[in-house]
Amino acid sequence: MKFGDEIEYTLVKLDFTHEQDDRDLISPDVGAADEEIRNLRDQLTKALHSNGLLSYQLTLELKPSRADDSKARRAAASIQSLTDLLDASRQETNDLRKQLEESNVRVRVNNSEASRDAEQRVATATAKTAEILAAATTKAAEIVAAATVKKAQLVDTAQLQADKVVAKARRENKSAVQQRRGKKELFRFRTAPNCATTHPIIVEVAKALEVKENTIVTVGKIVEKALQGTVLEDQLKEEQEHSLAAHQARLRSDQSSRSLEDAKDEAYMEDKAAIEANRQKNISNRSETNRETIKNALFSVFIMMHRGYLNDPLNSRGADLVFVKRLLEDTIPFPFLKGLIEYEYSEKDVLPEVFNPIFKVLRSGFQGI
């Protein structure tokens, strides 16, 4: 094997070893050794190139030449010089080969140490993974426990909210019942009851409206209390019938002193006169009473509007207050009053709940005026 071929074989072997070592590199020290091997390989490549040039020059010098002693001596000196250079190059190549072998040994040692380091790292990673897994398991258990407690709290909260909703519904239902009862109370006074005075009712209604709950019922009770001794039209009629029957009984008891025909005529005329007088009196009383009742009812509506108990902020509109004040003076007839209020509250629930009983009172109050 020629010297150049031997160098190429060594380079190929080093390349194979280097590629195999590249596949086994697992530590920083091996990376440093790899860099060192690359440098040595570059140096061998340069040495090979240098030896090739020297061999080519030596071949040229060994060609046949003329018999010239001076040239022969120069050629021999040149050949000797080239031989010395080749020997030096061979020595350099051997030194480089030794360095490569030492590098390969270090690489193998580093590989084994790197393997042990890798095993240590794997063991450490395994322990760390186990620690993380244990912590995650503990955390999951805590989360499950907290979720269980939270679920129980949510159930309790939902139950409490449901109880509150039920209680609120019961209160609203009770309020609706009280409103219906109040409507019935107002309906009882639709026939224009007789009021003693206006001022006490106004004062008592104003006091009652200080209480927001059961307003209609309270107003009804106060009106009922203030209207004690009220004589309705049916009661007046019944009293008239009783009075007529008693008068006829007295006439029958006096039949012994007068003739039957005269007694009948006299009784008839007296009864007719009494009935007419009572009718005129009832009309007059009812007219005056109805006017007072209208004023009382409208004043109650005025106070309820002013305090906002009719679900409408009328106190922010001065025109409505002026309108109700005019109603208190009986300056607006009932049909116009009803139409105007229906127009103002056509899209509100106030009209059927509150004003219908008042309309009945006003309607009965204007009859016979």
Q: Looking at residue 26, what is its pLDDT?
A: 45
Domain boundary among 130, 155, 173: 130
- Looking at the fold, whether 94 and 193 belong to one and the same domain comes out as no
CB of 305 closer than 8 Å to CB of 320 = yes
Considering the domain architecture, whether residues 113 and 200 belong to the same structural domain is answered as no
DSSP 229: T
* Domain ranges, residue 35: 3-130
DSSP assignment string, 118-133: HHHHHHHHHHHHHHHH
Domain boundary among 115, 130, 145: 130
In a domain, 166, yes or no: no
- What residues have CB less than 8 Å from 85, skipping those under 6 apart? 50, 54
Summarised one tens digit per residue, pLDDT across range 267-316 is 667 777 777 777 777 666 655 555 555 555 555 555 555 444 444 444 44
How do residues 51-75 score in pLDDT, each as one tens digit?
Answer: 666 666 655 555 555 545 666 666 6
Q: Do 34 and 14 meet the contact criterion of CB atoms below 8 Å apart?
A: no
Within a domain: residue 159?
no
Q: Are residues 360 and 239 in the same domain?
A: yes
**Rounded mean pLDDT of 257-268?**
62
Distance CA 324, CA 107 (A): 111
Identify the pLDDT of residue 331: 45
Q: How far apart are CA 56 and CA 362, in angstroms?
A: 141
pLDDT at 91 over 50: yes
Task: Tell me the average pLDDT across 310-324.
Answer: 44
In the chain, the amino acid numbered 117 is D
- How many Å apart are CA 179 and CA 214, to the nearest integer? 7
Claim to verify: residue 119 and residue 10 sit in the same structural domain = yes
**Single residue among 81, 96, 130 that ends a domain in this structure:** 130
Within 10 A of 314 (CB to CB), how many other CB atoms are there?
Answer: 21
Q: Is residue 339 part of a domain?
A: yes
pLDDT digits (tens, 9 = 90+) for 141-188: 666 666 666 656 666 676 677 677 777 777 777 666 666 665 565 555
Confidence of residue 98 (pLDDT cuts 50, 70, 90): confident
Per the domain annotation, does 158 fall within a domain? no
Q: Per-residue b/e over 119-156, b at no fewer than 16 CB within 10 Å?
A: eeeeeeeeeeeeeeeeeeeeeeeeeeeeeeeeeeeeee
Residue 80 has pLDDT above 60, yes or no: yes
pLDDT at 168: 77
- Is it the case that residue 46 has pLDDT exceeding 60? yes
Q: What is the mean pLDDT of the chain?
A: 57
Check whether residue 237 and residue 362 sit in a common domain: yes
The pLDDT of residue 201: 46
Are 233 and 97 members of one domain?
no
* Same structural domain, 92 and 233: no
Which is nearest to 359 in space by CA: 344, 337, 326? 337
Q: Are residues 95 and 236 in the same domain?
A: no
User: How do residues 113-136 score in pLDDT, each as one tens digit?
Assistant: 556 666 666 666 666 666 666 666
Distance CA 284, CA 246 (A): 25
- Name the pLDDT band for 263 (thresholds 50, 70, 90): low
Q: How many domains does the chain have?
A: 2
User: Is 337 within a domain?
Assistant: yes
Of 24, 20, 13, 17, nearest in space to 110 by CA: 24
Residue 90 sits in the same domain as residue 225: no
Looking at residue 352, its pLDDT comes to 46
- Quick: pLDDT tens for 203-253: 454 454 444 444 444 444 544 544 444 444 455 566 666 666 766 666 666
Verify that 196 and 115 share a domain, yes or no: no
What letter does residue 314 receive in the DSSP assignment?
A: G
pLDDT (0 to 100) of residue 270: 73
In a domain, 60, yes or no: yes
CA atoms of 20 and 301, how far apart (whole Å) = 107
How many C-beta neighbours within 10 Å does residue 107 have? Answer: 26
Q: Are the C-beta atoms of residues 308 and 331 closer than 8 Å to each other?
A: no
**Of 56, 76, 61, residue with least CA distance to 4:** 56
Angle at 184 between CA 195 and CA 336, to 5 degrees: 65
For 350, the token pair is 């106030």
Asked whether residue 226 falls in the same domain as residue 346, the answer is yes
**In a domain? residue 54:** yes
Residues 126 and 214 in one domain: no
Q: Would you say residue 240 lies in a domain?
A: yes
